Amino acid sequence: MCGSAENMNKRKLGTSSIEVSVVGLGCNNFGRRMYDLAPIRAVVHRALDLGVTLFDTAEIYGEGGKSEQFLGQVFGERRKDIVIATKFGYGGGASRSSIMRSVEGSLKRLRTDWIDLYQVHFPDPRTPIEETMRALDELVRQGKVRHIGLSNHSAAQVREAGMIAARQKLTPFVTCQDEYSLLDRGIERDLVPAMREHGMTLLPYRPVASGLLTGKYRRGKPLPKGSRLAGSGHHASDVINNRNWNMVEQIQDVASRSGHSLLEIAFGWLLARPVTASVIAGATTPEQIEQNVRAGATQLSAADVAALDRITQ
């Protein structure tokens, strides 16, 4: 069993008043690998039943915003219990006019009057960050957006945004969404200290390194049919290499010794980081959601965390 909605742990999104479940559902499969409403509804409703409150999407997930569209059709009466995080600006930039166009599109597709966390998907080198922040501040004051976040931004950009918010009295960013896992700890050097300075928390994506930390892939064996890495060509070669396999085998030893699965180790380690608000993981079946929720309840011993840090440093 996975427990009930009542005992899912929650954490705050940065300095905001929003609390979210420590396991979130990444919705980038909807409209990409999943095209029918019924299986999507089954995944979303199972997540809600198990206490998942954070649903992360973006205007570019699924052609023509299909992911947001599917979510809008599925949430219905349960909207008020849900924290919707969506993203804008991939390809379209983060100018004021672009943001105003994007937000109306997302609100319409999601069938909602407000977005809980509106995130800048990628930096826009053509637009000063102050212009982006003034537009977002306007949306917060209008009630269309509750809080704002950054994704894939550098430590310098996070610091600049924090200084502008303080100086101009604009709505501050409360979260960063970036790749982070036992196999990819690059953000610890610069980005995590910058986030701490501004009271921000992290929404790590690719928490299981595109599936390498789930145990479903085997060294030297063909990639399972239908798996994410099997269909991703160049990305697979970035993830599947000797460095990562060597680490996965050592992580598996820690898992075996502690009686946890590889997935539980991956989630438990991320949630042992104080900066982590919620682990965003995708799912294509209700069973995967159950596994993720179970993994999110994992509490690792200090010795296990230290061992994992040594292996992956």
One of 61, 118, 205, 217 is an active-site residue; which one?
61
pLDDT above 50 (res 1)? no
Residues with Cβ within 8 Å of residue 151, at least 6 apart in sequence: 87, 119, 120, 121, 122, 176, 177, 178
Does CATH number 3.20.20.100 belong to domain 5-211+263-301?
A: yes
Q: What is the pTM of this model?
A: 0.94
Q: What are the extents of the domains in the chain?
A: 5-211+263-301
Helix axes 262-271, 242-258, angle to 10 degrees: 90
The Cα 141–Cα 43 span in angstroms is 34
pLDDT tens per residue across span 149-160: 999 999 999 999
Helices and strands, number each (H, E), in the chain: 11, 10
Chain centroid offset of residue 276 CA: 10
What pLDDT does 167 receive? 98
Residue pair 296/266 in contact (Cβ under 8 Å)? The answer is no
pLDDT tens per residue across span 126-143: 999 999 999 999 999 999
What pLDDT does 84 receive? 98
Residues with Cβ within 8 Å of residue 298, at least 6 apart in sequence: 260, 264, 265, 267, 268, 271
Average confidence score pLDDT of the chain: 94
The Cα 139–Cα 103 span in angstroms is 9
Q: Mapping DSSP to helix (H, G, I), strand (E, B) and coil, where does residue 203 land?
A: strand
Q: What is the mean pLDDT of residues 280-299?
A: 97
Query: Which segment, 75-79, 172-176, 243-247, is predicted with the most confidence on average?
Result: 172-176
Integer-rounded Cα Rg, in Å, for the chain is 19
Residue pair 227/277 in contact (Cβ under 8 Å)? The answer is no
Q: What is the mean pLDDT of residues 298-304?
A: 97
205 is annotated as an active-site residue: no
Q: Residue 248 is inside which H or E element, if any?
A: helix 242-258
